[in-house]
Amino acid sequence: MGSDFFEQKRPHNGLTPAQYMAHFRAEIEKGESDKLDYLKLNWQRSHRIEKTYTVSDELRATIEAITEPQLWMVLTEPWCGDSAQNLGYIIKMAACNPKIDLRILLRDQNLDIMDQYLTNGKRGIPKLVAFAADGKELFRWGPRPAAAQAIFDEGKAAGQEKEEIMKAMHLWYGRNRGKALEQEFLALLKRDF
């Protein structure tokens, strides 16, 4: 799936984590977005993870054992709360191995790619797709850990307001501190490709 955009090198030309963070900061400084409050909150969440998170020894060893180059493409946007709660962990994971090239594509500028990786028919982000050097898809992850998705699904089924569901999810994220995400990545990375 998606060989055309891969052959066109669109993921390869995505933003590096540093470029993405510069874009994120610029969006806040512009102050024009109707999502400015979310941007500021997400900036704080992202920096908390950057300052406090260390990849676990088990996950680090698993990532360091990758011997062939991989490109990890993440489709996301700075205003996305799930992205703020997950991307920082993914950035630190990818940094454990120089064979992993993490590139970030802005979802709204790459809807044709996003539409190939829908979650339950929706453009849920962040969405990570890992590729081998030849373009073979290795795995997908996103838009949130299964436990966070369960909170979302249960809240929606119970008729809760979106803000109430998001509050419960972000409380879960704050308490979990990336542990569920790590377990999901361990399972993905230990599969045979």
User: Does 160 map to a domain?
Assistant: no
Question: What three-state secondary structure class fits 11?
Answer: coil
pLDDT at res. 155: 97
User: Does 114 map to a domain?
Assistant: yes
User: Does 18 map to a domain?
Assistant: yes
H helix runs in 53-145, sequence order = 57-64, 81-94, 111-114
Residue 83 CA to residue 90 CA, distance in Å, equals 10
DSSP 117: S
User: Does 46 map to a domain?
Assistant: yes
User: Does 92 map to a domain?
Assistant: yes
User: Does 153 map to a domain?
Assistant: no
Number of domains in the chain: 1
Highest-pLDDT range among 33-37, 102-106, 189-193: 102-106
The neighbour count for residue 76, using CB atoms within 10 Å, is 26
Reported confidence tier of residue 185, pLDDT bands at 50, 70, 90: very high
Q: What percent of the chain has pLDDT over 70?
A: 97
pLDDT digits (tens, 9 = 90+) for 100-112: 999 999 999 999 9
Tokens of 46: 């992202």
User: Does 66 map to a domain?
Assistant: yes
pLDDT at res. 75: 98
- CATH number for the domain that contains residue 11: 3.40.30.10
pLDDT at res. 180: 98
Reported confidence tier of residue 3, pLDDT bands at 50, 70, 90: low
List the domain range (segments joined by +) for residue 15: 3-144
Q: What percent of the chain has pLDDT over 90?
A: 92
Mean of pLDDT over the chain = 95
pLDDT digits (tens, 9 = 90+) for 75-128: 999 999 999 999 999 999 999 999 999 999 999 999 999 999 999 999 999 999
Kindly write down the DSSP assignment for every residue of 123-192, as one continuous string: --S-EEEEEETTS-EEEEE-SS-HHHHHHHHHHHHTT--HHHHHHHHHHHHHHHTTHHHHHHHHHHHTS-
Closest CA to 185 of 115, 92, 104, 99: 92
User: Does 16 map to a domain?
Assistant: yes
Reported confidence tier of residue 191, pLDDT bands at 50, 70, 90: confident
Is the per-residue pLDDT at 2 higher than 60? no
Residues with Cβ within 8 Å of residue 66, at least 6 apart in sequence: 97, 99, 100, 189
The structure's pTM equals: 0.94
